[in-house]
Amino acid sequence: MRALLSKAVGGPDTLELTELPDPTAGSGQVVVRVKACAINYPDVLIIEDKYQFRPERPFAPGGEIAGEIDSVGEGVSGWQAGDRVIAMLGHGGLSEKVIADPAKLYRLPEGRSFAEGASLILTYATTIHALLDRGRLKAGQSLLVLGAAGGVGLAAIELGKAYRARVVAAVSSEEKAAAAKAAGADETIIYGRAPFDKEASKALADQFKAAGGKQGFDVIYDPVGGDYAEPALRSIGWEGRYLVVGFPAGIPKLPLNLTLLKSCDVCGVFWGAFAARDPQANQAHVDTLFRLWSEGKIAPKVTDTFPLARGGDAIAKMAARGAIGKLVVELD
């Protein structure tokens, strides 16, 4: 089989397309023939040794896939060869076949493409955990979404509207604003490219405050970080919840006096650890996501696909923050 491997620390250009022996399912395992692998920001970090987990090299990046079960190991029940599945891996997805844990498999509904299936769990499960568990979002409340045209950003817009919030989407271009509007955003803000000096930071804070109104935002969803964080925090309402999701623009430093003045919470969102610590609660969220998907209230937006040999290009596009919606590597 072919796999796109990280053999040394570095960027997407260091990945090597390599021939490997096919994996064999051991006891309690399944082998999945990968049809699609979604690219997420952790794939940018993991090959640079900047992610929370550092797999032993060589390894293939790619944490979420969709495909068909190729073989089933001893002791596995409920799954058989040919079943269409979504699988959460952590890494390894940019390979034609992977070993997977049956406990981390989900059935891909009929009529849904492998590319869509590979794009569902990580972004939407992260976001539903963020908005409901950490953000305590309620109907009628206001939600500001930064980086709103990316995978998690569009998921936040759709889930915010599904739970009847007013959603303001902040993005960096007219094209991204159109994507946010199409996903259901009530209003959009177009911001400039960081870094910001003091004057530009204040101007952005004023933009956010104007959109939040006199009461400010109840929940702010931030998968961007960097110089965007403090201006956004300045627009939060009394007892609001600021959700820390990711840092592609850099790790920000927030003035904690703002949290006192607004009596607000700054909440970390680490979905992987949540899913491991409370698998029943996570499964309930995933069940909700499949229901919302079937009802048409959410839908992964796959905007660009790449062959395996160009998987590095997909990661590079993600690193450059050029993605709208989801980027997917297709294997067949």
| CATH number of the structural domain spanning residue 27 | 3.90.180.10
Q: Indicate if 113 and 126 belong to the same structural domain.
A: no
CATH number of the domain at 172, please: 3.40.50.720
Of 272, 292, 315, the residue that ends a domain is 272
Q: Indicate if 173 and 229 belong to the same structural domain.
A: yes
Query: Does residue 295 sit within a domain?
Result: no
Q: Indicate if 239 and 145 belong to the same structural domain.
A: yes
Q: Indicate if 111 and 127 belong to the same structural domain.
A: no
Q: Indicate if 224 and 306 belong to the same structural domain.
A: no
Q: Indicate if 305 and 248 belong to the same structural domain.
A: no
Q: Indicate if 101 and 204 belong to the same structural domain.
A: no
Task: Check: CB of residue 143 under 8 Å from CB of residue 156.
Answer: yes
Number of compact structural domains in the chain: 2
What is residue 251's three-state secondary structure?
A: coil
The whole-number pLDDT of residue 282 equals: 96
The whole-number pLDDT of residue 332 equals: 78
Q: Indicate if 150 and 94 belong to the same structural domain.
A: no
Query: Does residue 212 sit within a domain?
Result: yes
Query: Does residue 287 sit within a domain?
Result: no
The whole-number pLDDT of residue 218 equals: 98
Query: Does residue 284 sit within a domain?
Result: no
Q: Indicate if 238 and 307 belong to the same structural domain.
A: no
Q: Indicate if 306 and 318 belong to the same structural domain.
A: yes
Cα–Cα distance for residue pair 138/160, rounded to 1 Å: 9
- Which residue range forms the structural domain that includes residue 238? 122-272
Query: Does residue 228 sit within a domain?
Result: yes
Nearest to 66 by CA among 102, 26, 106, 29: 106
Query: Does residue 278 sit within a domain?
Result: no
With pLDDT > 90 as the criterion, what percentage of the chain qualifies?
Answer: 95
The whole-number pLDDT of residue 249 equals: 87
Q: Indicate if 92 and 136 belong to the same structural domain.
A: no
Tokens of residue 252, six digits: 């920000």
Contacts of 185 (CB under 8 A, 6+ apart): 145, 148, 157, 167, 168, 169
Query: Integer distance in angstroms from the first to the last C-alpha of the chain?
Result: 11
Q: Indicate if 49 and 190 belong to the same structural domain.
A: no
Please give the single-letter amino acid code of residue 326: K
Query: Does residue 146 sit within a domain?
Result: yes
pLDDT digit string, tens, across residues 36-65: 999 999 999 999 998 888 999 999 999 999
Largest CA-CA distance found in the chain, in angstroms, rounded: 64
Cα–Cα distance for residue pair 89/64, rounded to 1 Å: 6
Q: State pTM to two decimals.
A: 0.94
User: Which parts of the chain register pLDDT below 50?
Assistant: none
Question: What's the angle, vertex CA 47, arms to CA 42 and CA 51, rounded to 5?
Answer: 45
The whole-number pLDDT of residue 47 equals: 96
Looking at the chain, list the stretches that DSSP marks H as alpha helix, in order from N- to C-terminal side: 41-46, 114-118, 121-128, 151-162, 174-182, 198-212, 229-233, 257-262, 271-277, 279-294, 311-319
